[in-house]
Chain A
């Protein structure tokens, strides 16, 4: 049986000692979990090791930690997979408490102080539509399957741990709470979808604060894909409920779309003014002026040249237009959903089986048809933002969707995945 070195970050507020690392030897098969290793050490060597844990099977969400720097559940991280990524020596596994939350003791962090406060920020309960029916609400099966992806969140905090935006802006509502918000915005029984979206779009620490770093998608052990849910909140807010947020978030996204459609590659000199309605929009003037120092610095360091700034030589290829056409001509918006279509690799193995018919002809990844959106309960702000470049079905996310890349070529995916069949892959456990 292989021997691992478990290097635990220890901290006891009563000892007066600074946090430090302590090594323990543990013999366990490689497919056993990091949690089992911690519990073996705690049982046999040192009962004072602090770690929250309960179900051992990635259901209760107690044992969020960082293993060799990666956030996730200790019970859901295999020893061999963790050791393979170790930068600390052969079979050395460093286990630390999650980030972005204060440490109480050893691997135990104060989730109440950060995570749960943020959850409470999003009115985390159903505001049921009136009148409440005598029996159940009649809603489409697909809508309930769709929100099951966010119901699958176990509140472990792994996404919060490594949220880069939260590191810069501790007030950011954050991936877990925003995914929770989608659980209500996507629920046809909720009466306040419009108010929820407006609230989260207008909040400077809300949906437009996310920088699409994908860390939360990587971190989530349950496939909730918090960032995807944030993007869906944005699409609902901007395109369906026409929320013209004061953070300029929606207009910025539309400027991205316009920019890419025109240039194929991002032309940054156009992006900023377009985000404010164009170079000559009154709103753009102060913003552009305030950006001057940044522009000057960029010129000075050679990051941009005057020529490049004014003349963007890259032009969009017909392929780009074809993608726009395909997406815009769909009758319904397609969205990624694990509960309907499985993982990317599930799809790659067997696309016909897993994908809704509408999606098979497109580049789309696992998909669900977005529920037809009802008319917003309140008249939206009249101004139609960047309407010329923003058809309602356009996915507004400026970064390429994570899901789309791997699934774009199912054949390649099959080749990659085939050897690993029947065995948990490295990625599975993180």
Chain B
């Protein structure tokens, strides 16, 4: 049984950063991922990472923009931590080898981004996530003596001891089907978001909410789950992301009448208002008949000088050409709001600790909450790195003062029985892919930019039915080597759990704040709803709702305009 001080589940930016931080503290570390680390979805983060590093900028300004962006639902103590520590994190990355683009005197260069009062987004062309992820993986290779990598291992369950401490996980080696218990003093979940519960989504096929569901299943509360970010610029056909960097570099949005409609909705920030505002504006234009016939809006990147586009937006030049047949340096590309990010997740404190002793969470799987009702562009990479590192450090400190817990092998037999029962399902049920499609379309219809009670009730009923269908959905592959079919069945259960929590949270919040816009409650209502909605499992399969206060330090809620 592999035993480590710190076990990290997920190897995107949060997980890798946590691993490096824990190793630096002297802990033994295992990092497990169901895909090779560089395939993690952090790789798709395009535009950049925020930090108030320029002398003219200040962390307070960054923090206020983040608080305002969150529609005052973000916890201000956590936001302060993130924004204060951001500059040093950028420098740490630079020293580790990230090839940030420079300004004309060779210092780190910045670009403008949505919802920000200063240009404070540091970037590597439009492959910032990829560049950072690959550099962190370089560091994992360098520190291989302290960090054991388990690449292509699928976590099936978190383990609790008799006193309710998290002491490890059960994992399956995807390559040969072998089950293994990983024993650890501290466990950090860093397994990302749940975008695949929506269709379309910008998220990769691996973003199936595994960690959110695993924590939920052992009783950890989830927070702000109703807050789903729709990104303003995604391709209509397949949901692919066109980076906000395009607008940061100067691209404009037009409706079918040729109007630069953001003048109406955000007269000061225009296209660079926060994402919820821009997405709602686009959706309103489309709903009121001013979109293009395919239900889209035009993003005109030809406003950006061509040389600059080729240098700084290379990836979306490729995406436009290969996946939409459009040369974005010469003509507008049609886009619409698309599901992109989940602000909610496993509730943690500023050190990544969940209410379950020994269990941490960092990155998109977690909710600290620094994003509240709406995440600012280029704050997600920062969130993963700051809270990944803090989790790694705290988990290592805790682990170094504890004895290695003992874990019973009987859990392996339980998991094996569960897998066997999936493999032995009758052929009659609905196919996994059908259930997944229906889930995605349901969520995208009822839990999108505009929501109302009736739609959310319908969505909840459908999700409950799909849960029943998923429990008997058959798999074709009965083997042990790379049985992706079997793992797909498990992932479907995860997605359904997450989807239910999203819908329950959205039904509960009877106001409009951040990404949640209720057409039946169109106003923000601070008197009743300036609070987090926590969802947890109450023994059986039904989520129960409680509330927790929003931490306010410096910035009292005010009206939010851009």
Which residues of A pack against B, CB within 8 Å?
12-15, 31, 42-44, 46-48, 50-62, 76, 104-106, 108, 111-112, 119-120, 124-126, 128, 132, 135-141, 144-145, 147-148, 151-155, 183, 187, 189, 222-223, 338-342, 346, 350, 353-354, 421-424, 428-429
Contact = CB atoms under 8 A, between A and B. Distances in A.
Nearest to A188: B106
Contacts of A76: 322
Interface stretch (B59-67, B95-103, B345-353): B95-103
Contacts of B385: none
A105 B106 CA distance: 48
A152 B43 CA distance: 11
A42 B432 CA distance: 10
B260 interface: no
B509 interface: no
A346 B328 CA distance: 12
A7 B329 CA distance: 37
A424 B325 contact: yes
Interface in B488-541: 488
A105 B314 CA distance: 34
A14 B481 contact: yes
A56 B238 contact: yes
Contacts of A12: 479, 481
A62 B327 CA distance: 26
B311 A340 contact: yes
A422 B43 contact: no
Closest 3 CB pairs of A and B: A43-B433, A126-B97, A47-B476
B72 interface: no
B44 A354 contact: no
A141 B104 contact: yes
A379 B327 CA distance: 49
A140 B39 CA distance: 30
Size category of the binding interface on chain B: 35 or more
A153 B142 CA distance: 19
16 contacts: A12-B479, A47-B477, A47-B485, A47-B488, A50-B484, A52-B35, A57-B238, A60-B35, A60-B41, A61-B39, A62-B39, A136-B91, A137-B94, A152-B127, A342-B317, A422-B326
B356 interface: no
Contacts of B321: 424, 428
Given A55-B44, A104-B482, A148-B124, A353 B322 contact: no
Interface string B239-263: 0110000000000000000000000
Given A47-B477, A353-B306, 18 more contacts: A47-B432, A50-B482, A54-B205, A55-B205, A112-B151, A125-B139, A126-B138, A135-B107, A137-B94, A139-B102, A141-B103, A144-B102, A151-B131, A152-B125, A152-B130, A187-B97, A350-B306, A354-B306
A223 B127 CA distance: 14
A151 B130 contact: yes
A165 to B, nearest CB: 24
B320 to A, nearest CB: 10
B141 A31 contact: no
A174 B327 CA distance: 33
A151 B41 contact: no
B97 A148 contact: no
